[in-house]
Amino acid sequence: MKRMTTAAGLALLGLAVSACATQATGELSSRAPPSTSDPASAASYAPIDPERLSQLTRAFAADELQGRAPGTEGERRTIEWLSGQFAALGLEPGGENGGWTQRVPLIRTQVQSPASFSVRSHGETLTLQSPSDIYVSTVRAAERARIEAAPMVFVGYGVSAPERQWDDFKDADLTGKVAVFLVNDPDFEAQPGDPVAGRFGGQAMTYYGRWAYKFEEAARRGAIAALVVHETEAAGYGWNTVEAPAGENYNVVLPPDARQPVLLQGWIQWDAAADLLRRAGQDLAAVKRQARTAAFRPIDLGATLSADLPVTVEAVESHNVIARLPGASRPDETIVYGVHWDAYGIGPADARGDRIRNGAHDDALGTAAMLEVARAFREGPPPERSIVFAAWTAEERGLLGSEYYARNPLYPLETTVANITLDTLQSAGPARDVILIGEGQSEMEDWLARMAASQGRRVTPDSHPERGLFYRADHFSLAKRGVPVLLLMALGGGADLVQGGREAGDAWVTRFTADCYHQPCDDWSADWDLRGAAQDGSLAYRIGRELAFTDVWPGWREASEFRAVRERSAERRR
Ligand SMILES: [Zn+2]
């Protein structure tokens, strides 16, 4: 990339673009955004203004907001700024008690030392070293996590998927036990011709492959702990990523009558797990092959785990920030836009001495795009359905703000038409395509394709479905409860950029991920070309606008793991 030339060119373009988009917005006040076949034209991103996106992002990623960590002074300033923006746009407060916020009570837990882990297996006592053999944390509000001689059971992939005629648990009772899982889903390593091939989306990861699912399934079955056997390729990351949180974890505060999570959750190294199986007369590689068949049955390891860990638990009071534009004729039907306002706050200094992790792309830019979508709605005719604009907290702590909302929705989920989430948009310029994350999940991808075509863009499926990005942003909290979703995110593979093509798009993703993702260098820059992010904002607007003026309810595809839960409330949408 010729950096100087590009930056100079963009500065000029920025001015031209801005003038043109302002004009376009005026004309657009009563009609749909223009259709174009040219993704490099202003019509492709109308009515979103890249210059305004830049200024909003600059303000929201400023050092004054201290990296927007939940429960800090940075949060107070964030709420003030966001609610001020919402109010200036003429939106209604969409939070609790007529205000802009929904209170989100969280806990932060930190495992302290000394932590001890021992396994009693066939007459011998083995010590597991933390964090080299085993890494655990807790999301329960317990000052001490203690397990005494809990039986260990190997549950294979630990999948219970009636819609795929698959049940790894059979009649095994996990109450009070330690469940040991394989990572990913049963067909991840299937060979062609293998009966399991394609049953769980092939290389693409389903929800059943995620550790989050496995921990939840273990809790549903009354297990006291859940351990996933680590394999770098199947997990998608190394042990260094597993142990990086250093015993820290977060959760929403659960009501006393809610199902409690497992007491300890985490990972065990392949070699340590293989040793336990060997002592039980089994070979881990061989039982893994068995686990790729529907006939698999849980294996009692003939071993018990004892663990004792001091834990500190801290209450963190945080908030979602929510605005609403009431629907003119069907206000009870809601389209929810979502972004996350939080970033990583203040941390260790980087090479430049910068300590503030401003989260400029992730997700100040998405937030700016959502504000521009809100502006576009306000400047157009009033939508028939209501539009909710939600800035969730604590996404980076485990999708917790959106999870709290999904557990305590302010607008019923049964009549929430769809959720459109903007999380981490790119700054590398206009694109000829948009990356679809979660291909085959819902009819939202048809709306995406139609509206992308109106921008002169086409849809390209995520190039790394095995990483399971679809399960790793806030839209997922709503998907789990059946709301059809769409995630616009720049990390699912490089876009086909108007300047430089796929190669340039991939290079942007690689550079951003390696250097800046969650680091102080994710900072606002005047050199950004936000026409691509504006295209994505415009796309989000176009889809939401279409949905807001129809009575259509987009549905899940037949094969989706989320179809069944939506179907249960079908009556509410007739
Ligand atoms: Zn994000």
Output the CA 202–ligand 1 centroid distance in Å: 26
Three-state SS for 368-437 is HHHHHHHHHHHHCCCCCEEEEEEEECCHHHCCHHHHHHHHCCCCCCCCEEEEEEECCCCCECCECEEEEC
162 shares a domain with 241: yes
Residue (of 412, 441, 422) closest to 555 by Cα position: 441
423 shares a domain with 335: yes
Pick the last residue of a domain from 248, 280, 314: 314
456 shares a domain with 483: yes
386 shares a domain with 262: no
User: Does some domain include residue 393?
Assistant: yes
**Based on the number of CB atoms within 10 Å of its own CB, is 90 exposed (0-12), middle (13-18) or buried (19 or more)?**
exposed
Q: What is the CATH number of the domain that holds 126?
A: 3.50.30.30
Domain range for 51: 3-24+33-105+318-546
User: Does some domain include residue 304?
Assistant: yes
Among 22-26, 125-129, 289-293, 406-410, the range scoring the smallest mean pLDDT is 22-26
Pick the last residue of a domain from 314, 339, 362: 314
Quick check: 45 and 535 in contact, CB under 8 A?
yes
User: Does some domain include residue 322?
Assistant: yes
Residue by residue, DSSP assigns 32-77 as PPPP-S-TTSHHHHTT--HHHHHHHHHHHTSGGGTT--TTSHHHHH
289 shares a domain with 160: yes
User: Does some domain include residue 560?
Assistant: no
Among 227-231, 254-258, 364-368, 538-542, the range scoring the smallest mean pLDDT is 254-258
The C-alpha R_g of the chain, in whole angstroms, comes to 24
Q: Which phi and psi angles does 331 have, rounded to 5°?
A: -65, -20
113 shares a domain with 101: no
129 shares a domain with 43: no
User: Does some domain include residue 200?
Assistant: yes
Whole-number pLDDT of residue 1? 32
523 shares a domain with 467: yes
CB burial string 253-275: b at 16+ within 10 A, e below: ebeeeeeebbbbbbbbbbebbbb
Q: What is the pLDDT of residues 170-207, one digit of tens each?
A: 999 999 999 999 999 999 988 888 889 888 988 788 89
346 shares a domain with 297: no
Q: What is the pLDDT of residues 475-529, one digit of tens each?
A: 999 999 999 999 999 998 999 999 999 999 999 999 998 889 888 989 999 999 9
Q: What is the pLDDT of residues 111-150, one digit of tens each?
A: 999 999 999 999 999 999 999 999 999 999 999 999 999 9
- Report residue 30's pLDDT band, with 50, 70 and 90 as the boundaries: very low
User: Does some domain include residue 553?
Assistant: no
440 shares a domain with 300: no
Output the CA 368–ligand 1 centroid distance in Å: 13
What is the average pLDDT across 455-474?
91
253 shares a domain with 359: no
User: Does some domain include residue 337?
Assistant: yes
- Report residue 7's pLDDT band, with 50, 70 and 90 as the boundaries: very low
Output the CA 238–ligand 1 centroid distance in Å: 21
Q: What is the mean pLDDT of the chain?
A: 92
CA distances (Å), origin 357, targets 214, 326, 529, 554: 31, 35, 21, 37
Output the CA 269–ligand 1 centroid distance in Å: 29
**Does residue 24 carry a pLDDT above 50?**
no
DSSP reduced 3-state for 135: strand
Beta bridge partners of 325: 387
Residue (of 119, 158, 132) closest to 277 by Cα position: 119
User: Does some domain include residue 572?
Assistant: no
Output the CA 276–ligand 1 centroid distance in Å: 38
Q: What is the CATH number of the domain that holds 76?
A: 3.40.630.10
351 shares a domain with 439: yes
Output the CA 477–ligand 1 centroid distance in Å: 14
Q: Return all residues near 70 (Cβ < 8 A) that are at least 6 apart.
A: 106, 316, 318, 342, 393, 394, 397
Whole-number pLDDT of residue 467? 81
Tell me how many domains the chain contains: 2
